[in-house]
Structure 1
Amino acid sequence: MKERIKSIVEINDNKVSSSFGFFIQALILLSVITFSIETIPNLKPRTRIVLKVIEWFSVIVFSIEYILRIYVADSKPKFVFSFFGIIDLLAILPFYLSFGVDLRSLRALRFLRLFRILKLVRYNRAMNHFTRAIKSAKEEILLFLFITLILIYFSAVGIYYFENQAQPEHFTSIFDSLWWAIITLTTVGYGDVYPITVGGKVFTFFILMIGLGIVAIPTGIISSALTKSVDKKQDE
């Protein structure tokens, strides 16, 4: 019985497992849609009842799925604390925590329902390729993030010394300058804070050039890892 259940809830090529996967995917999307509809003001009472019924049904199915996955797991603690195990728990946890409690005091927990959409990663092969690519390139990505944080801090310090005296209201401290550094290095440039001194403008030019590289580097890292992941899967 355990092996039979495992062949269904785990991703396999058999028809029953595929049907189960499609059903869970459809239910996840339905749950996310109803979550969005709930934010519409002045909904009719009947509509709210329907949304509540869908929520109950979704939570019951997700709870059964979570329990079954724990049951068939070779190492139950390993599954519970794995990425997908945590996502599965977060998908149902807000419902049980808010059960019988005024949601106004636990409104933030409703946001956790969005974690249900991450459950789709398990059932989508393209997303599985992407997940494997991220894992294979995690050291390069972590190194890139560390260097990016250093550059952000360096940029904040630099612009602070260039613009502090000219714009003390915007560049009061290095901490205030971090906002400018982030939006400049990411090439967003909201325009709410910008340099007015010659030195600040020249410094900004170089930071923008670095920012273009910051946008491009992770794309190259992930693209290379994704290509390797697809090639490896095809070889298998």
Structure 2
Amino acid sequence: MKEKIDRIVESRETKAGLYFDYTIQVLILLSILGFTIETLPNLSPQLVDFLEDFEIFCIVIFSIEYLIRIYIARKKLKFIFSFYGIIDLVAILPFYLSFGLDLRSARVFRFLRLFRLIKLIRYNRAIRRFSIAFHMIREELIIFSVVSLILIYLSAVGIYYFENAAQPEVFSSIFSSLWWSVVTLTTVGYGDVVPITIGGRIFTFIILMIGLGIIAIPSGMISSALTEARSIEKKKNIQETTKATLPE
């Protein structure tokens, strides 16, 4: 019995497994759509009741799925504390935690329902490829993130010393200069905080050039990792196909 359930839940090779995957994916998307509709003003009482009933229905299905996955897991504690196990739990936990809480606290927990979108990684091959790619370059991304934070801080310090005397109300401290640093390094450029001194403008130009590189570097790394992940996936599929066609 456990093996049959495992083939349905963990495999897409059977029709039942395929239908199971698609059903969960559709429910995840519909539940997020319901969460979005809830924020609309002046909803009719009938629609509010329907959305609440549908949320309960989704919670029941997701809870059953979570319990089934624990049941078929060879190492139950390992699954519970795994990435997917935690995501499955967080996807249903807000509903149960909202009981006995006031409306404001319940809304905070309802926000956690957005974690259901992460559940799609398990069911969608293309999204799963992204997770594989990020796993492959996680160390590079960590190093890049640390370097980016250092650059953000250094640029905030630089613009503070260039602009503090000319605009003491805007660049009053390094902390207030951090907003300019983030906006400039990410090349967003809202224009709400701009330098007016010659030195500050030259410094801004340099930071903008660095910002263009900051955006390009992770894009290149992710693109390369996705290509490699796809190649690995193709090799794995070929090996599985070859193994399946070989006579016993």
**Greater mean alpha carbon deviation, residues 56-65 or residues 8-17:** 8-17
Does 2:69 match 1:97?
Answer: no
Within a 5 Å distance, the mapping from 1:30-109 to structure 2 comes to 30-109=30-109
> 1:177 maps to which residue?
177
> 1:7 maps to which residue?
7
Rounded to whole Å, the distance in 2 between the matches of 1:209 and 1:51 is 49
Rounded to whole Å, the distance in 2 between the matches of 1:143 and 1:178 is 20
Rounded to whole Å, the distance in 2 between the matches of 1:29 and 1:200 is 47
Q: CA deviation at 1:99?
A: 2.1
Show structure 2 runs of 5+ residues with no match. 237-248
CA contact (8 A) 1:11 1:123 kept: no
Rounded to whole Å, the distance in 2 between the matches of 1:157 and 1:95 is 45
Rounded to whole Å, the distance in 2 between the matches of 1:226 and 1:105 is 40
Within a 5 Å distance, the mapping from 1:61-210 to structure 2 comes to 61-210=61-210
Q: Secondary structure at the match of 1:106?
A: helix
Q: Secondary structure at the match of 2:167?
A: coil
Between the two proteins, the alignment pairs up a number of residues equal to 236
Amino acid at match of 1:165: A
Q: Secondary structure at the match of 2:188?
A: coil
Give me the CA root mean square deviation: 1.0
Q: Secondary structure at the match of 1:43?
A: coil
Q: Secondary structure at the match of 1:21?
A: helix
**Greater mean alpha carbon deviation, residues 79-88 or residues 13-22:** 79-88
Q: CA deviation at 1:63?
A: 0.4
> 1:226 maps to which residue?
226
CA contact (8 A) 1:155 1:181 kept: yes
Rounded to whole Å, the distance in 2 between the matches of 1:14 and 1:134 is 29
Rounded to whole Å, the distance in 2 between the matches of 1:177 and 1:74 is 53
**1:21-64 CA distance string (max 9 Å, x none):** 00001111110111111111111111111111100000000000
Q: CA deviation at 1:126?
A: 0.4
Show structure 1 runs of 5+ residues with no match. none
Rounded to whole Å, the distance in 1 between the matches of 2:36 and 2:235 is 42
Rounded to whole Å, the distance in 2 between the matches of 1:103 and 1:11 is 40
TM-score by length of 1: 0.97
